[in-house]
Structure 1
Amino acid sequence: MTSGCGSPHLRNRAGTMMRRPVAAHGDEDETGDDVELWLTLAVMAGAVVLFVTEKLRVDVVALLVAVALLVLGVVTLPEALSGFSDQATVMVAAMFVLSGALQRNGALVAVGDLLARIRWPWLFLLVMMALVTCVAAFVNNTATVAVFLPLVLAATTANRWAPSKFLIPLSYMSQTAGVCTLIGTSTNLLVDSMARETAGVGFTLFEFAPLGIVFVGICVLYLTTVGRVLLPDRGIPGSETADPIGVYVAELLVPEGAAVIGRTREAVPGDAHADVALLGILRNGVAVRGGDAVVEAGDRLLLRGLWPDIDAARKALKLRFDHVARDLDGDISAERLHVEAMVAPGSHLIGHTLSGMRFGHTYRARVHGLHRRQLGIARPLDQVPLTVGDVLLLDAPAKAIDELRVDRGLIVMGARAQRKVDTTKATLSAIVMAAAIAAAALGWMSIVASALLGCIALVVLRLLDPDEAYEAIDWRVILLLAGIIPLGIALQKTGGAALAANQLINLVGHYGPTATLAAVYLMTSTLTEFMSNNASAVLVVPIALATADSLGVDPKPFLIAVAFAASTSFATPISYQTNTMVYTAGNYRFSDFVKIGMPLNIIFLITATLLIPRFFPF
């Protein structure tokens, strides 16, 4: 344990725990410690509020936490910056690069070809889950879903199956498979790093595997039996059975002679188009207030509805899209397509507006519609900050599709031919990934060293150029890890973790360590449903370590509970990025995740409580 950590306990060279001696002026030191404790708890409370409300991005919140603790004097400068040199941060960045090479070079496109050949829904589901498990155990699960999502959509649409029957299993399996190895999720790496730093306890590459495989088996069994009954049928995209929640907001210009000129808000778009709702009237970019507002030429109308209904209303009312950028028209004889593209987790588009990033000129495409779960939009579409899961309906020339597909910030969801695969680069990328994992598994070098060596090999072999390697890293996750680690240090130094552990032990400790383990798992799982999985792990790891210390038992079972609970979050669409991705693509409702995910959360809680002590004895 590093000397800067300042835990209430220190490890001697033999590895045993020693109490820190009490200072001569105990009262003064205790008063100072109390002040630092309350300051730490205040910072943590503020972080929890910001994580839950999402007023700021999680990486910004993490950096605010680190800076606040430094300015308040709770942590030293080396401690505040320790997250940037932490092996978890470096490891996660390296794994993003290794995963990015597989995705960019098309190493997984053959998987899509295999899925497209299957004609039985039950077999398709089983094969999809098996493939996702094999990939997500070693590749970041968000990247895994980003690759599989368009493949599953294409295959299900071609077979006339409802995607909603398969996309929740895609998300759930990617999460469950991630707990099978140390590198399956960034959360596993974070828990391992914090445990090594504060308690000298760590995990090997495949130490999670026995319990993880049990979880995978339970998830497969649940999704192929109970899940098949609970999974909703939201219809096939483009068919008459499609569920009407997959609606868009479109911004249409009112030209001279349009049928809506002179109508009041209540009369637009009219009885003939009752399935289309008017969200607002924009005049000079500002919403016109009042129910008696009258539409004028030059206004823009925000209409909400299914795209065929909006298009029908547009034609009937003689509205049009505002082609303000005529230079985007290009060859008017060229084939143009409507393309659905989702804003991916970690996308560089998140938080930016279409106008601010000059989206049309960057992608040579116009945005005709915006789909998101909350459609209370009252401003021009090009002024709406984008968020993860937003789906843009783009009008683009056919030749622009390839550029859209290779952009990491967007996931093209249209059922169109995939880009060609460079077989040599794809094969070499897979070999480099396998070699990095094998070197660590065989004990030849640490996983950090082997992953960094793999990244260097990718660049030297020109499987990725340096710019592509940097682009493959989700810097929001890196900054989150680096910024939030000092909070764990502060909780250890000030005794905040011990305080929470004592409260937990007072509540359930008299029932034994197994009951306390269940409480730690439940606490982590509940927090993860409402905030970042990494953030919840950072908050609970110090508590888990202090709890194990107070009970006088091995901390590993409690750390495993935190890692598994934080990495398997099923009950809400906002609890995990993969849930958010399929939420939009599958036209799910919020209640679908509660109905399907809550029982699975409970099953995993019971399973973890019973099996963790068997695999990792107290």
Structure 2
Amino acid sequence: MLVALGAVVLFVTEWLTVDLIGMLIIVSLVVTGVISPGEGLEGFSNGATLTVAFMFVLSAALLKTGALQFIAGSMSERFRRRPRYATLLLMLTVAVISAFVNNTPVVAVFIPIVGRIAASANIAPSKLLIPLSYASILGGMCTLIGTSTNILVSGIAESQGLPGFSMFTLAPIGFSLLVIGILYLTYFGQRLLPNREAKESLTEQFALHDYLAEIVVLDNQNMAGVRIMDSPIVRELDMDIIEVRRNGDRFTLPPGDFRLAAEDTLKVRCDREKIKLLKDWVRIVDHSGSVQVMGTGLERDNSSLIEMVVTPNSEFVGKTLRQVDFRRSYRAVPLAIRHREETLNEQLYELPLMAGDVILAEVKSHYLVELQKIEQRQDSPFILLSSDSIADFKRGRFYFVLLTIVGLIGLATFDVLPISIAALLGVCLLALGRTITMKEAYEAIDWKIVFLLAGALSLGKAMGNSGLDADMASLLTGTVANWGAYALIAVLYLTTNLLTELMSNNATAALLAPVAIAAAAQLGIDPQALLVTVAIAASASFMTPVGYQTNTMVYGAGRYTFMDFVKVGTPLNLICWGVTTVLVPLLFGL
């Protein structure tokens, strides 16, 4: 119980990354003797863990074909002619795709395209991005492989000698929630969504007027002839020099060893008040003055403004721009960061970044193509909001990947092969068919989730060994057993759903799936009914921007506030709660 409580605290506070928490769970349980070393490592060879890993590769292969960009891009005209119908079609498309591939890269692909669709159809992006995220979550509830949570719950059942989920065990409830959820978002939720127009320039959106300026270097020994890295404007005031203009030549994002010269005009990022302080300071040294404040200029021919959304599993999360060596690694200068609901313009290199943060940066135009290539990777640390996608639709490759995915679904559905082996077969076929290289396959796997699942499975084993699952189940059944099956499902769903809003959905499922199995054993009912409830409730996270990865991704991109998710998501959470509470007893004969 102490290990479980410690894990919950760490998941909620996010003091450590989820993969490290997963490993600490294993080590703690083995060292304290709750589980054996063999049981601690079983999670890494569990079919659920391996299936999730292989599904990441299949998702990456589909993404590489450019099919998702092609599908999303073809919707622009429909939005201009029939926006409500197009929104409904968008949600259905995303939901269907998310039912069979990892929904995080699906949403990552659609976010910038939805932004461009919104601009061309004169619709606020805030009207589309929350529906995009919610549709991907609803779609993932429909099949075993729709989300790693479903696979994890199925794996916990199998580890305890019970039958796991088939490919479409969740489909009756998941599809019902999908239909009702999309109708709610189309005809009622739209009224609750904010209408935040993004017509103003990026300079206005990020309040850059007081943080960008041009300064002229006069003949002064502290400035002229000095390397940028040694100049007082960098050392004393932590300015970023975006561009140097000299005798008609322009040097964009000059390196640190670039030497300044008298009469150079510099475009810099810095607080205007600091620039004035610099001017005063130099006047003390050289009474002729050294700095002249001029106008603000953005987006020259040789540089571009970009918005970068930090993805949930990005290497940026928890680190500062200085730690990721942002300027040198990405040839970009940060101008501002939209951090949750505030825009920051100062001390940008010192801010620990979070998933969903939006970085406004100026980048060398010729390097933009390279950033777009990085964005196309499954493990990309960011999504580019303000640049066009470069992925071409490879029709032949798409049909090959699609046939592979349909084939593995068929093999698993008809019990020809276990889902883990069918997914592995799919990966082998894609590698043999040159659709994806083995290097790309390894890079596609989200190893944080793999280690988290291994730790979660060991926690489930420990709860069984120690009897903690039975004790927690007794608390649950003792409270509601006399109220009937509907009350049991309602309480289990609500407990799971509230907990998943606070921490990882996989961690929540790992904690409550063993409790559901124990509760079913005590009451003598079908455990699959309670496991389905846990799987659905753990994924149905709509009330907060941090409860589910895709919500976090659209948070900054849509310029939402926390309360936007509460207003739109709470009714949807209640709808899913009510529908699941009614359907589970009916479908499973409770």
* TM-score tier after normalising by the smaller chain length: 0.7 to 0.9
Aligned to 1:81: 41
The yes-or-no answer on 1:391 pairing with 2:353 is: no
Select the residue among 74, 77, 100 that pairs with 1:117.
77
Letter of the 1:529 counterpart: E
SS in 1 for 2:362: strand
Deviations 1:430-489 (A, max 9, x none): 332222223323433221111111111121111111111111111111110011211111
Following TM superposition, by how much is the alpha carbon of 1:361 offset from its aligned partner in structure 2, in angstroms?
2.6
The yes-or-no answer on 1:218 pairing with 2:218 is: no
The yes-or-no answer on 1:298 pairing with 2:298 is: no
The alpha-carbon distance between structure 1 residues 425 and 507, as it changes in their structure 2 partners (threshold 3 A), is same
Deviations 1:491-518 (A, max 9, x none): 1111111111111122212112221111
C-alpha distance in structure 2 between counterparts of 1:160 and 1:378, whole Å: 29
Moved more, 380-389 or 174-183: 380-389
Asked if the contact 1:254/1:297 (under 8 Å) is kept, the reply is no
C-alpha distance in structure 2 between counterparts of 1:516 and 1:198, whole Å: 22
C-alpha distance in structure 1 between counterparts of 2:112 and 2:131, whole Å: 15
C-alpha distance in structure 2 between counterparts of 1:249 and 1:176, whole Å: 42
Q: Percent identity?
A: 40
Map 1:324-343 → 2, pairs under 5 A: 335-343=302-310
The alpha-carbon distance between structure 1 residues 128 and 79, as it changes in their structure 2 partners (threshold 3 A), is same
C-alpha distance in structure 2 between counterparts of 1:241 and 1:507, whole Å: 57
SS in 2 for 1:435: helix
Aligned to 1:53: 13
Following TM superposition, by how much is the alpha carbon of 1:394 offset from its aligned partner in structure 2, in angstroms?
2.1
Letter of the 1:146 counterpart: A
Asked if the contact 1:187/1:533 (under 8 Å) is kept, the reply is yes
The yes-or-no answer on 1:204 pairing with 2:166 is: yes
SS in 1 for 2:145: coil
How does the TM-score come out when normalised to structure 1? 0.79
Deviations 1:214-265 (A, max 9, x none): 01111011101210111111112536999x6x6689977997889xxxxxxx
SS in 2 for 1:357: coil
C-alpha distance in structure 1 between counterparts of 2:502 and 2:111, whole Å: 24
Deviations 1:404-440 (A, max 9, x none): 2232221111152543333333332333222222332
Aligned to 2:550: 578
Aligned length in residues: 525
C-alpha distance in structure 2 between counterparts of 1:450 and 1:406, whole Å: 30
C-alpha distance in structure 2 between counterparts of 1:355 and 1:426, whole Å: 39
The yes-or-no answer on 1:410 pairing with 2:377 is: no
C-alpha distance in structure 1 between counterparts of 2:421 and 2:499, whole Å: 33
Asked if the contact 2:306/2:386 (under 8 Å) is kept, the reply is yes
C-alpha distance in structure 2 between counterparts of 1:316 and 1:493, whole Å: 62
Aligned to 1:518: 490
Aligned to 1:130: 92
C-alpha distance in structure 1 between counterparts of 2:202 and 2:418, whole Å: 55
Asked if the contact 1:498/1:543 (under 8 Å) is kept, the reply is yes
The alpha-carbon distance between structure 1 residues 443 and 491, as it changes in their structure 2 partners (threshold 3 A), is closer
Asked if the contact 1:254/1:299 (under 8 Å) is kept, the reply is no
Aligned to 1:535: 507
The alpha-carbon distance between structure 1 residues 255 and 565, as it changes in their structure 2 partners (threshold 3 A), is same
The yes-or-no answer on 1:353 pairing with 2:320 is: yes
The alpha-carbon distance between structure 1 residues 398 and 428, as it changes in their structure 2 partners (threshold 3 A), is farther
C-alpha distance in structure 1 between counterparts of 2:210 and 2:320, whole Å: 15
Aligned to 1:490: 462
The yes-or-no answer on 1:453 pairing with 2:392 is: no
Following TM superposition, by how much is the alpha carbon of 1:111 offset from its aligned partner in structure 2, in angstroms?
0.9
Aligned to 2:131: 169
Deviations 1:300-357 (A, max 9, x none): 479xxxxxxx98976996899xxxxxxxxxxx99631101111112123323333333
C-alpha distance in structure 2 between counterparts of 1:378 and 1:365, whole Å: 15
The yes-or-no answer on 1:105 pairing with 2:57 is: no
SS in 2 for 1:232: coil
C-alpha distance in structure 1 between counterparts of 2:386 and 2:277, whole Å: 26
Letter of the 2:124 counterpart: A
Following TM superposition, by how much is the alpha carbon of 1:376 offset from its aligned partner in structure 2, in angstroms?
9.0
The alpha-carbon distance between structure 1 residues 157 and 100, as it changes in their structure 2 partners (threshold 3 A), is same
Gaps of 5+ in 1: 1-40, 259-283, 285-294, 303-309, 321-331
Letter of the 2:123 counterpart: W
SS in 1 for 2:144: coil
Map 1:65-80 → 2, pairs under 5 A: 65-80=25-40
C-alpha distance in structure 2 between counterparts of 1:170 and 1:579, whole Å: 9
Asked if the contact 1:342/1:391 (under 8 Å) is kept, the reply is yes
The yes-or-no answer on 1:158 pairing with 2:130 is: no
C-alpha distance in structure 1 between counterparts of 2:120 and 2:461, whole Å: 52
The alpha-carbon distance between structure 1 residues 62 and 316, as it changes in their structure 2 partners (threshold 3 A), is closer
SS in 1 for 2:581: helix
Asked if the contact 1:153/1:413 (under 8 Å) is kept, the reply is yes
The yes-or-no answer on 1:613 pairing with 2:551 is: no
C-alpha distance in structure 1 between counterparts of 2:373 and 2:508, whole Å: 32
C-alpha distance in structure 1 between counterparts of 2:29 and 2:327, whole Å: 42
Aligned to 2:255: none
Letter of the 1:491 counterpart: M
Letter of the 2:18 counterpart: V
C-alpha distance in structure 2 between counterparts of 1:377 and 1:162, whole Å: 23
Aligned to 2:443: 471
The alpha-carbon distance between structure 1 residues 394 and 530, as it changes in their structure 2 partners (threshold 3 A), is same
Aligned to 1:140: 102
Moved more, 506-515 or 44-53: 506-515
Moved more, 494-503 or 228-237: 228-237
Q: Kindly report the root-mean-square deviation, in angstroms, between the aligned alpha carbons of the 2 structures.
A: 3.1
How does the TM-score come out when normalised to structure 2? 0.83
Moved more, 386-395 or 493-502: 386-395
Map 1:179-328 → 2, pairs under 5 A: 179-238=141-200, 298-300=236-238
Map 1:493-504 → 2, pairs under 5 A: 493-504=465-476
SS in 2 for 1:370: strand
Letter of the 2:145 counterpart: I
C-alpha distance in structure 2 between counterparts of 1:87 and 1:196, whole Å: 9
Moved more, 458-467 or 185-194: 458-467
The alpha-carbon distance between structure 1 residues 617 and 358, as it changes in their structure 2 partners (threshold 3 A), is same
C-alpha distance in structure 1 between counterparts of 2:54 and 2:34, whole Å: 31
SS in 1 for 2:334: strand
Aligned to 1:289: none
C-alpha distance in structure 1 between counterparts of 2:514 and 2:215, whole Å: 62
Following TM superposition, by how much is the alpha carbon of 1:114 offset from its aligned partner in structure 2, in angstroms?
1.6
Aligned to 2:330: 363
Following TM superposition, by how much is the alpha carbon of 1:579 offset from its aligned partner in structure 2, in angstroms?
0.5
C-alpha distance in structure 1 between counterparts of 2:64 and 2:391, whole Å: 10
Following TM superposition, by how much is the alpha carbon of 1:384 offset from its aligned partner in structure 2, in angstroms?
3.1
C-alpha distance in structure 1 between counterparts of 2:209 and 2:533, whole Å: 43
Following TM superposition, by how much is the alpha carbon of 1:171 offset from its aligned partner in structure 2, in angstroms?
0.7
Aligned to 1:277: none
C-alpha distance in structure 1 between counterparts of 2:210 and 2:477, whole Å: 55
Following TM superposition, by how much is the alpha carbon of 1:160 offset from its aligned partner in structure 2, in angstroms?
1.7
C-alpha distance in structure 2 between counterparts of 1:443 and 1:485, whole Å: 24
C-alpha distance in structure 2 between counterparts of 1:60 and 1:446, whole Å: 29
Letter of the 1:388 counterpart: A
Asked if the contact 1:521/1:565 (under 8 Å) is kept, the reply is yes
